[in-house]
Amino acid sequence: MQTAAWMWSLMFMAVIAAVFLWVVAGASTKVTDKADPAPAYRWRNRLFWAVIAAGMVLTFGTLWDWPIAGHAAAAPKPDVVIRAVGQQWRWQLDRDTVKVGELVEFEVTASDVNHGFAIYHGKNRIVAQAQAMPGYVNKLRVRFTEPGDYEILCLEYCGLAHHGMRSVIKVRAGS
Amino acid sequence: MQSSTMPSTDTPAAKLAFQLYAAIGVAVFLLMMVAGAAFRAAQAVWVPLPANFGYELMTLHGAGMVGVSGLAGAAVMWYFLRRYVALSTGMFLAMLGLSLVGVVMILAAIGIGRYAGAWTFLYPLPAKSMGVWGTHAAAAYVGGLVFIGVGFLLFYLDCALAILRRYGSLVKALGLDQLFGSRPLDTSLPPTVVASTMVVIIQVLGILAGAVVLVMTLVNLYVPSVAFDALLMKNLIFFFGHVFINATIYMAVIGVYEIIPRYTGRPWTISRPFLASWAAVTLIVMAVYPHHLLMDYAMPKWALVTGQVLSYLSGIPILLVTAYGALVNIHRSGLRWDLPLRLLMFGLFGWAAGVIPAIVDGMLRVNLVMHNTQWVPGHFHFYLLLGLVPLLLGTLLYACTRSDWTESALDRASFWIYGIAGAVFCFVFLAAGWQSVPRRFAVHDSAWLGFAQIGSLAATLAVLAALVLGVRLLARLPRVSLTA
């Protein structure tokens, strides 16, 4: 998902840059006949409807199958439930080991300030995340597909040792 | 005596007020850039800063940049809006005075009280620092924001009154009667008035929400037994914060509507798509803020869907009305490029291109793995560092140098270095977000250092270029004209 977001963003930003460069490069040349912006605005009307159509496809394509498993909809019973409580500056997990393939539900909350519960695979890939907020429980469902130690980082700034607020979920091969 | 429905008069006090805004704006922007670059260098382990000092710099950089963006944006809006309605120089100066009081309080909170709760003062963090800062420090920070908010509110209320006196109602000033009426458009309604009316509406409501949450935070600081719902507070804070920072760009873009036609000789008049887009952004900017709360699953599903859909829609007016309109306006117009125009067009590009990663991050499926990574500062630095700042600089330079501008090689070099280094700085943030590097970490893991180091180099170059451009502007400030 991260790579798709990066590549799509680069592509559309490059298109915008190319259009700007093309117009800017020719801006100091004056057209001999009277400038008529009408064709440009007819193109804009077409572009508008194309963007609206693309937006509808994008909205239904990304939201029809609701991205947050178990949120605001009926969902299968999880195999494991782990309560994850954020507290300056540590995570309290009532269990830290699960098996590959298990449907794990994290009941994410906080006892003092807002925290962000983010599960990392290695240092450079977030698997999933949810906000940890006092007074609320956000249920985050994850099915780990690879064994390993997954680091939990806090992604909502929570004070002096925010960057050090970490824990580990051990995902072991199922038996 | 000046009629209340006529444009404002150009008094020496008005000119001095604008010069004050420009000078303070340039100085604060530069200082806050240095603070931000120092924080990035600390992440790169190139500047040895204790974590708490890093977070203080981060708080200062955030609050300072948001505040000065608001002030400089308001100065651009005041500069042009006063040509159509009678604005008060006193209220304009009151905003600056109250803001400076707020700045002193915030500086004291951070510098003396060691407050480091980030500019967003996310409840209940100001009250729960684990002993790092005290109640009075947090209160000084929150109180400082209250002073700044009151100053802005006075200014926007003065703008609202002036618009009402001249146009009769905000509906008419926004052109809604024309948009939904059957009569031909009255193109004498200036785009500046339409844009300013939108800003007045959203800012008054946004600042009022901000005032409510700031007062609630103050109450909680001194009476901890009075606690509030954290999700409600988060909604109020992000509504206020989102509206405020977005309004800065919508104010700065007024410079594009006013100045570019003078280079091209092609007037920029209102049209139905123009009016429709400004009516739409009035609603969208206020309703889109749940895209900041996509990872709060306690939010209702409809709010999260609204956040994603409106994020996408918010790009349409920017890309297809303002950016497209500017490109059509300059296309083969025979204009002569100079620094102010270059900056304005580059700023428009930064805003338009920065919208893309913002929309991408506003998608729930993406947000699930990119929320609060460096993707976020990547997209907002794109449309602030590469969008807002060039728009503001371009407008201010135009106001100072219209009649006798001579562009030096240093000007051109500074422009290109600022643009290229700034773009590298932003793309490094985006790339780091792609690689899941967290935002708002004073201390980075070794795997992330490369991003911080390249980012620091780019930031240093961008700050140096901004310094040259800022000094060039300050040197010409005595020549400023309110009718440029």
A53 reaches B (C-beta below 8 A): no
> Which residue among B231, B308, B331 sits closest to A23, beta carbon to beta carbon?
B331
pTM of the model as a whole:
0.94
| B340-389 per-position pLDDT tens digit | 999 999 999 999 999 999 999 999 999 999 999 999 999 999 999 999 99
Contacts of B43 in chain A (CB under 8 A): none
Query: Is some CB atom of chain B closer than 8 A to the CB atom of A38?
Result: no
- pLDDT for position B198: 97
Nearest Cα of chain A lies from the Cα of B10 at a distance, in angstroms, of 33
Asked if the Cβ–Cβ distance from B297 to A1 is below 8 Å, we say no
Going from the C-alpha of A128 to that of each of A69, A76, A105, A144, B344, the distances in angstroms are 11, 19, 12, 10, 40
Cβ–Cβ of B55/A162 closer than 8 Å? yes
- Pairwise CB contact (< 8 Å): B230 & A134: yes
* Chain A contact present for B431, CB below 8 A: yes
Best residue of A43, A51, A90, A114 to probe chain B, by most B CBs closer than 10 Å: A114
Cβ contact (<8 Å) for A28 and B331? no
Q: Which of A165, A11, A164, A25 has the alpha carbon at shortest distance from B333?
A: A25
What's the pLDDT score for residue B1? 39
Q: Which residues of A touch B320 (CB under 8 A)?
A: 44, 47-48, 51
| Contact flag A164-B334 (C-beta cutoff 8 Å) | no
B52 neighbourhood in chain A, CB within 8 Å: 160
In whole angstroms, give the CA distance from residue B353 to residue B347.
Answer: 10
pLDDT, residue A32, reads: 64
**Nearest CA to CA, how far is A39 from chain B (Å)?**
10
Residue type, A108: V
pLDDT for B320 equals 87
Distance, in Å, from the CA atom of B109 to the CA atom of B132, rounded to the nearest integer, reads 12
Which residues in chain B touch residue A59, judged by CB atoms under 8 angstroms apart?
305, 308-309, 312
Q: Which amino acid is at A97?
A: T
What residue type is B37 in one-letter code?
Answer: A
Averaged pLDDT of chain A: 92
Q: φ and ψ at B480, to 5 degrees?
A: -55, 140
Which helix or strand (DSSP H or E) is residue B453 part of? helix B449-476
- What per-residue confidence (pLDDT) applies to B16? 95
Among chain B residues, the shortest Cα distance to A56 is held by B309
B131 in reach of chain A (CB within 8 A): no
Instruction: From chain B, pick out residues whose CB is under 8 angstroms from the CB of A37.
Output: 328-329
Q: Which residues of A touch B323 (CB under 8 A)?
A: 16
Nearest chain A Cα distance for residue B372, angstroms:
6
Contact in structure between B270 and B261 (CB atoms under 8 Å): no
What is the spatial distance between Cα B391 and Cα A49, in angstroms, rounded to a whole number? Answer: 29
pLDDT(B230) > 60: yes
Q: What pLDDT is stored for residue B5 in this prediction? A: 59
> What confidence tier does B402 reach under pLDDT thresholds 50, 70, 90?
low
Query: Of the ranges A27-41, A87-101, A124-138, B460-474, which one carries the lowest mean pLDDT score?
Result: A27-41
pLDDT at B201: 97
Q: Determine the average pLDDT of the residues in B105-118.
A: 97
Q: What are the CB-based long-range contacts (under 8 Å, 24+) for A57-64?
A: A58/B312, A58/B363, A59/B305, A59/B308, A59/B309, A59/B312, A62/B308, A62/B363, A62/B364, A62/B365, A63/B305, A63/B308, A63/B364
Is A139 touching B (CB cutoff 8 A)?
A: yes
Asked if A138's CB is within 8 angstroms of B296's CB, the reply is yes
Residues A5-14, mean pLDDT to the nearest whole number? 96
For residue B224, list chain A residues with Cβ-Cβ distance below 8 A: none
Is A168 buried (19+), middle (13-18) or exposed (0-12) by CB count in 10 A?
middle
B232 touches chain A (CB under 8 A): no
Provide, as residue numbers in chain A, all residues whose Cβ is less than 8 Å from the Cβ of B333.
Answer: 27, 30-31, 35
| Residue B420 contacts A, CB cutoff 8 Å | no
In chain B, pLDDT over 90 holds for what percent of residues?
90
Tokens of B256: 């594009």
Which tokens is B242 given? 């989102």
DSSP output for A91-135: EEES--EEETT-EEEEEEEESSS-EEEEEESSSS-EEEEEEE-BT
pLDDT in tens, A17-58: 999 999 999 998 887 656 677 788 888 889 899 999 999 999
Task: With cut-offs at 50, 70 and 90, classify the pLDDT of residue B13.
Answer: very high
Show residues of chain A in contact with B433, CB under 8 Å.
2
CB contact under 8 A, B51 and A160: yes
Average pLDDT rounded to a whole number, residues B230-250: 96
**Which residues on chain A are in Cβ contact (under 8 Å) with B370?**
1-2, 5, 126
pLDDT of residue B2: 45
Put simply, whether A60 touches B (Cβ < 8 Å) is: no
Band of pLDDT at residue B184, cut at 50, 70 and 90: confident
Tell me the ipTM for this assembly: 0.94
Please give the pLDDT value at position B7. 76
Residue type, B231: L
Of B166, B187, B165, the closest CA to residue B175 belongs to: B187
